[in-house]
Structure 1
């Protein structure tokens, strides 16, 4: 089967769940019809809501607008750490305006990325501190991108004082980092990587996270879960991650879906907000 062919839409989950982090624009969505089609496929698999996330200013504008097109779609707005080299007052003003939108449920993704060298660490850290302050001022959760930067991310959160809700998107740490995040009250969001059989440290971490402190996500179109690794990802594929996480934790698919959904409702403040 071709690596370019999307995975099949799986059987509907026994309980609804939200995709806590996706990039609908990068999945090929441009119009309201495109967004609705993606949301329809997701809903067929039991993925009834999703948060589309920005990584630059153009994506932030699009995500904020797209979140108004479909009741199943929300947005998160920030500047990705790899794009912070030229992040100054004009960009900050626009991000702040967009992030204040009613359908924007998080400030993200922000944080640190020491894998790529597109932006120097100093610029990334300065922008991260600014986004932390923005999340606190807007009283919205902070959605963190942390790649090869665990210690600095945790240090800066402690120095600045973390917002009430902090989400580690696509959590990539081991059990020790997970425990430190959990002790601080942070939420860990698991992407398709948790289903990869060679991700031993991550899978160990996922076993110890209690209900109430984990979410599930796709990070689509990237990180497609096993057994479809390398093929195009979309929000409906979070159902495969739920199934893999349930197997890993020795729990039922319904338990994991319900726990992740309850956390999404609490962290993103979606209680009482249902698709039309």
Structure 2
């Protein structure tokens, strides 16, 4: 059994066949899916989806792309949403210096506020960080000393991975690990302890090989686990067992 710790099943690309995608994931041995909010609308939708399907739990938060529109009212609404039993984390939040869809200062402010919120409501965090490792680590060291969480879609080097793990965080690996261009990332994985790794799809994005070019779905998280097993010279069962244990521990899943 596997747990997809990061998907966006509420997104419009699943509107025509969402029930089938969820059923296919269950039949493929996916024990649970964490549906992750990226803005206020998707955070609300994530909670509604989790209330509809026992198979799904939710995270609520505002992605750095949307940081410029994050208000005090949004903060309060996230806090209210976080009180729902189906919500297991705050996020995704963080920094994205690749696209800079929001000014960097506003990204940092929204990131800090959501880390503070997570401490208020005593939930772990899901962090998005792209081309922003220095500021991400700086802010985590300043604001997240009493938090647990995960750096989602990890794509940095071993030094960053070790700093993240030293903070008590996990690293989540997704479809990028299977890409031909991800040689540097594949060199990192053998040096990571399995007890600090989570697996994810980021569906509908970043579809792993051999399905690249298709829409990503939670059932494809098995391809990520298979690649980790190969890189760490172990078997799929060992990766499935440990990453599931890790996800249950971090997100307090049943």
TM-score (norm 2): 0.96
Name the CA distance, whole Å, in 2 between partners of 1:84 and 1:183: 27
Q: Who is 1:51 aligned against?
A: 34
What RMSD in Å do the two structures reach over aligned CA positions?
Answer: 1.4
| Alpha-carbon distance, 1:39 to partner | 2.2
Name the CA distance, whole Å, in 2 between partners of 1:102 and 1:190: 26
**Residues 27 and 220 in structure 1, CA contact (< 8 A), matched pair in contact too:** no
Matches within 5 A, 1:1-276: 16-26=1-11, 28-30=13-15, 35-270=18-253, 273=254
**Residues 145 and 167 in structure 2, CA contact (< 8 A), matched pair in contact too:** no
Summarize deviations over 1:176-215 as a string: whole Å, max 9, x none: 1111112222100001111123212211222211122110
| Alpha-carbon distance, 1:17 to partner | 0.9
The 10-residue stretch of structure 1 (77-86 or 159-168) with the greater mean CA deviation from structure 2: 159-168
Query: Larger RCO: Structure 1 or Structure 2 (Cα < 8 Å, ≥ 6 residues apart)?
Result: 1
| Alpha-carbon distance, 1:26 to partner | 2.2
| Alpha-carbon distance, 1:35 to partner | 4.5
Q: How many residues align?
A: 254
Name the CA distance, whole Å, in 2 between partners of 1:157 and 1:164: 9
| Alpha-carbon distance, 1:25 to partner | 1.6
What are the ranges of 5 or more consecutive residues in structure 1 without an aligned counterpart? 1-15
The 10-residue stretch of structure 1 (174-183 or 140-149) with the greater mean CA deviation from structure 2: 174-183
SS, match of residue 88 in structure 2: strand
Name the CA distance, whole Å, in 2 between partners of 1:211 and 1:152: 26
TM-score (norm 1): 0.88
**Residues 18 and 48 in structure 1, CA contact (< 8 A), matched pair in contact too:** yes
**Residues 199 and 224 in structure 2, CA contact (< 8 A), matched pair in contact too:** yes
Summarize deviations over 1:228-252 as a string: whole Å, max 9, x none: 2222100000011111111111110
Query: Higher helix share goes to which structure?
Result: 2
| Alpha-carbon distance, 1:94 to partner | 1.1
**Residues 52 and 63 in structure 1, CA contact (< 8 A), matched pair in contact too:** yes
Where does structure 1 differ by over 4 angstroms across 4 or more consecutive aligned residues?
Answer: none
Name the CA distance, whole Å, in 2 between partners of 1:158 and 1:223: 29
**Residues 10 and 49 in structure 2, CA contact (< 8 A), matched pair in contact too:** no
